[in-house]
Structure 1
């Protein structure tokens, strides 16, 4: 059986790439290929600064040893166009190619290559050469595909979107026009997710005489500042902090909500959006990254411009008055996931790419 080595974070870490890896290991792809994991990055590790430096130095040696032990025909590198990830994973890319491996280089979001090094010619030229090294280049979004092609016409990337285990369909959510509109946010509590604008929108909604609630599920660097802002605005009754939720508790958070508040400033293809759509929870979201690939404005949710609390508030007030629209969008969300974003579709896509990499070159 062909062996594929997948590089990425610890399989018990909380990250989008970890979710992706676990999906590949648990789906039907693992019946056709021997999948082995090589851990890179700091996610899922508890280590001191010294231990981190030692790991940086020792990890390439461990990688070469793992290649010799497992003898994979394909090395599947999961990286992103972020500075730390790029330089770290460049080492693994060069080593894998030096040892004659076929390399699939999957980019999980980040900056487009033409702006990655801020216009620095020498480094941008190096990046162009690096992106030509892999035998296959996989992206998450159509907008990224266009950007990479503009950056270098010699590149031949393809798009394989993220997927989700949609689970059992609990059916349509009941119409409840008399209760306050319930919003939920699930994910990392960070300023870049637009959460301060979302909290400000809750203040504006209250000022418009509309009752709505917001539950924040997750943790992150903005936790303390968000709590202070909620208290300063007197929104403790409207905005609650639920901490991290997993499994059935997270599923319940989706099911109990009418709307996913997600005015993120920049994004790849967020798993939280796929989860919300699978749970029939339409999104109030900014059309950034791969989000317009996944959902259509007015069909699966509502698009708002980034960093615009008033636009968020206006949309919340409008949707509060049209619960039937929310129910229709929820149905459309579920259908969209079932048709295009299942784990089995993900397995089929990577099965095809792996087999293409293994095929003998055309004469």
Structure 2
């Protein structure tokens, strides 16, 4: 008989990295080895009024306790992040799970590093340490996080399980399309800290060198109106297309047509799915080395690292790739190989199967 794992996270219909993660696990081989069930937390994927949100805050912990009594899961898999809203909300679920004696896998999807999270607040830092110790296993996305959590508290039970993707068919013939100006794709939230405004500035600098690159911006977010105004101000309307949020086949087609993934984010990223998708499609990443990005790609081998908030460096990198198509082809092929070797859903399922088995064995 399969043992039950209760997954805590947003709606699987929501547009978020954690929703993608949950969907992958529910549809992977892991679901053949374990009985995976979801308990929805958070506002993502919900349409609710202020009053209904307050009611949810009040009743959700009780509903969680009832669900534990009804399903009696062997493991509670809590998906969270070191962001204030997620952290304070998920403390309650962690405490309830431990109150019922359940094994807890506490997976952190990015956010601040622990030393930075409550810097200058000793009581809150103490509470963070105590909460992390309550978890039976803490799963991280990146080696840099592993080092930081070890330094924060050597007693924590830590491991790294990176994100993964379903591989699209290998577009090996894509290199034949490298004719004319390069097409750059941005896929992500339209927010200033994702580096998208710097990418526009870089496009304008490249144009001054006589090169008119094309940029496709896919996604939505709080800064879209300001972003559109910046396109007009920089006179880039003939080079920039807003595609809106893209999913499934439409997203695959976008990657297939793009030569470069422009994503100079300086947000506290975990492991962006768009990075893995772009590399799988032989679309060369032009990114900042944040979060787990350096675990996935090496500068000059799979893509190009640029410093944050630096349009001039972005422009120089774009011109380099524009002028060296052989390098672009080599990095595209190396990126595809990297994803095939280490970032597939099959590997993800094996890693969590091993993690769950350890928790049940140690119990």
Same fold (TM over 0.5): yes
Quote the Cα distance in structure 2 between the aligned partners of 1:150 and 1:119: 17
Q: Which residue of 1 aligns with 2:204?
A: 203
CA contact (8 A) 1:175 1:324 kept: no
Q: Which residue of 2 aligns with 1:353?
A: 355
Pair 1:132 & 2:137 matched:
no
Pair 1:165 & 2:189 matched:
no
Q: Which residue of 2 aligns with 1:227?
A: 228
Give the Å deviation of 1:68: 1.2
Quote the Cα distance in structure 2 between the aligned partners of 1:176 and 1:322: 14
Pair 1:47 & 2:78 matched:
no
Q: Specify the SS of the correspondent of 2:261.
A: strand
Quote the Cα distance in structure 2 between the aligned partners of 1:209 and 1:235: 14
Q: Which residue of 2 aligns with 1:268?
A: 270
Q: Which residue of 1 aligns with 2:346?
A: 344
**Cα displacement string for residues 150-178 of structure 1 (whole angstroms, at most 9, x for unaligned residues):** 11111121100000001222324134454
Unaligned stretches of 5+ in structure 1? none
Q: Specify the SS of the correspondent of 1:45.
A: coil
Give the Å deviation of 1:119: 2.0
Q: Which residue of 2 aligns with 1:243?
A: 244
CA contact (8 A) 2:264 2:286 kept: yes
Quote the Cα distance in structure 1 between the aligned partners of 2:320 and 2:349: 39
Unaligned stretches of 5+ in structure 2? none
261, 279, 282: which one pairs with 2:281?
279
Quote the Cα distance in structure 2 between the aligned partners of 1:76 and 1:240: 40
Q: Which residue of 2 aligns with 1:152?
A: 153
Q: Which residue of 1 aligns with 2:306?
A: 304
Quote the Cα distance in structure 2 between the aligned partners of 1:214 and 1:111: 31
1:325-344 pair list within 5 angstroms: 325-344=327-346
Q: Between Structure 1 and Structure 2, how many residues are aligned? A: 361
Quote the Cα distance in structure 2 between the aligned partners of 1:136 and 1:309: 41
Q: In 2 relative to 1, CA 178–168 (structure 1 residues): closer, same or farther, beyond 3 Å?
A: closer
Q: In 2 relative to 1, CA 26–232 (structure 1 residues): closer, same or farther, beyond 3 Å?
A: same
Quote the Cα distance in structure 2 between the aligned partners of 1:328 and 1:186: 22
Q: Specify the SS of the correspondent of 1:348.
A: helix
Q: Which residue of 2 aligns with 1:190?
A: 191
Q: Which residue of 1 aligns with 2:256?
A: 255
Pair 1:319 & 2:321 matched:
yes
Alignment TM-score, normalising by the size of structure 1 = 0.98
CA contact (8 A) 2:136 2:157 kept: no
Quote the Cα distance in structure 1 between the aligned partners of 2:62 and 2:292: 36
Q: Runs of 4+ in structure 1 displaced over 6 angstroms?
A: none
Q: Which residue of 2 aligns with 1:215?
A: 216
Quote the Cα distance in structure 1 between the aligned partners of 2:328 and 2:218: 21
Q: Which residue of 1 aligns with 2:23?
A: 22
Give the Å deviation of 1:229: 0.5
1:37-186 pair list within 5 angstroms: 37-176=38-177, 178-186=179-187
